[in-house]
Amino acid sequence: MKNTLLIRIPPLVSTCDDETAVQWATFSGGGELLGDVHVSEIGQIKEQWFTLQDEEEEADRTGERTIQDKLVLLLPGNLVICRRLELNSGQRKHIQSALPYLIEDDLAQDIESFHIAHYLHRKNSEVTLTAIPHASIQEILSVFERSGLSINNIYAECQLLSAAPETALLILDSAMVMMATPGSEALAIDYEAVPFALKQRATEIEEKAVLLQTETAGRVSRVKLAYASGAMPTPDNKIDSVRQDLAQQGWLLEEEAFNGSIFEWFAQSYFEIRKSSRLVDLRQGSYRCPKKARRQIKQWRPLIALAACWLVLEIGLMIGKGIYFGQKADELWGQNAESYLSVFPQDRQVKDAKSRGLRTFDLQKWMQNRLKNMGQNPEGEPFLPLLQKISVVASTQGEEADLVPQAMDFNDSSGHLVFEFQAANLEVVNKFMDELRAGGLQTRLDSANQDKGGVIARMTVARESRG
């Protein structure tokens, strides 16, 4: 599992540049602090990080060393706006279009100038929103990119606070106070505003409890002060000031002193809740991390490879079918050409097409045209009616007759058709001729020779004269 390089921009930072001092540390995949917490300018983090490594990192394609850890950035409450709001069914269904209207009353600037990220809760009808000016997030990403740091995730610190029931949690930092109450989003406020903000939040919660007709749910009855006493401690005068102000208002106080820094407290909270998926990552939409997009593409690679293999197989099958049916068509064309030449052996064009392998030669159309042209002499006898009668009689002979046409020759002037065919025996020949006569045709057997395959017969057929 990759380590995580966690970076925190301290409170009251309004602009960000290469010289902005930030807190950072490396943590294991399980959230264990590796080394110490450092305070450095953004432009120096990469160099210092490599200095602290036991092994040299691999060089990327440009020859520059890159940090292989996951980079996570925490933003203070004064740079972002966090809200947790109730949704109706229509807003939940069209959440993307509803987002600007849900938060625009809390913004001092035009809503179009803000980047809004959200998390839609599945177990209730609430949504958690985080908003930051486009100019601010663009400036932050640009500064870190120039310093060789590609940020994977950006979270607001206010998401990492969770208050116990009936308890207001105050995290006392060196410059600001983070306040969280049950069922509400956390706020970043000045030390001087703590008593007023706490009283107002308690009143709002009380009014909501009355409206919902609940006796104790969500109400604040005590305040918990949390501050750092170890590395980077919270100034004592800040702690005493808050303690005295709240005691004068009659609040029941609890105190917790961290052994480490406030940064370490936020880091611990981050690793505890990051797998719940309820953190709102500001790297959404147009600010989405390119690495995340590549990882998602990588997850789909097996399916893409499977689809590609299926497509190649499908194309291969189609090509194989095309080749098979092409060969079959050539074979059938050759058989048709042989059958045609057996009837019209002197047709030079068909002979030439067969010898040259011109499979594009349309035998069917050629045959139809030839049959139409035959017997077109107005003074002669029609050919097609004569051929049709012969075909009908031949089709009734059955398979055992083994009657196969060999050649034919039609005389337009006389109307006589010389028909040469093969039959199983002489009896079949005589029967065939009798049925032709019964059909109204004149028949004369010119020759009948016994062959190994049967009898080769040649006869002359004509229509009976009328009149």
139: closest CA among 73, 67, 190? Answer: 73
SS3 assignment, position 210: helix
pLDDT tens-digit readout, 410-456: 777 777 888 888 888 888 889 888 988 888 888 898 998 888 878 89
Structure tokens at 390: 């012969």
pTM: 0.61
Task: Output DSSP code: residue 162.
Answer: -
- The percentage of the chain sitting over the pLDDT mark of 70, rounded to a whole number, equals 89
User: For residue 189, which phi and psi values (nearest 5 degrees)?
Assistant: -135, 160
- H helix intervals, 191-235: 194-211
Q: Does domain 4-288 have CATH number 2.40.50.100?
A: no
Structure tokens at 286: 């147009």
Instruction: Give the Cα separation of 277 and 285 in Å (integer).
Output: 17
List 278's β-bridge partners, or say none. none
Answer yes or no: is pLDDT of 43 > 50.
yes
Q: Contacts by 38-47 with C-beta closer than 8 Å and gap 24+? A: 39/232, 42/16, 42/17, 42/18, 42/143, 42/144, 42/147, 42/149, 43/18, 43/19, 43/146, 43/147, 45/7, 45/147, 45/149, 46/147, 46/148, 46/149
Q: Which CATH number fits the domain 377-463, given the four candidates 3.40.50.300, 3.60.20.10, 3.40.50.970, 3.30.1360.100? A: 3.30.1360.100
Terminal CA-CA length for the chain: 108
Can you say how many angstroms the Cα of residue 134 is from the centroid of all Cα atoms in its chain? 28
pLDDT tens-digit readout, 78-96: 888 888 888 887 787 777 7
Burial of 139 (0-12, 13-18, 19+ CB in 10 A): middle
pLDDT tens-digit readout, 174-183: 888 999 888 7
Give the start-to-end residue ranges of the domains of the chain. Answer: 4-288, 300-373, 377-463
Answer yes or no: is pLDDT of 212 > 80.
no
**The residue to which tokens 């939040």 are assigned:** 201
Q: How confident is the model at residue 186 (pLDDT cuts 50, 70, 90)?
A: confident
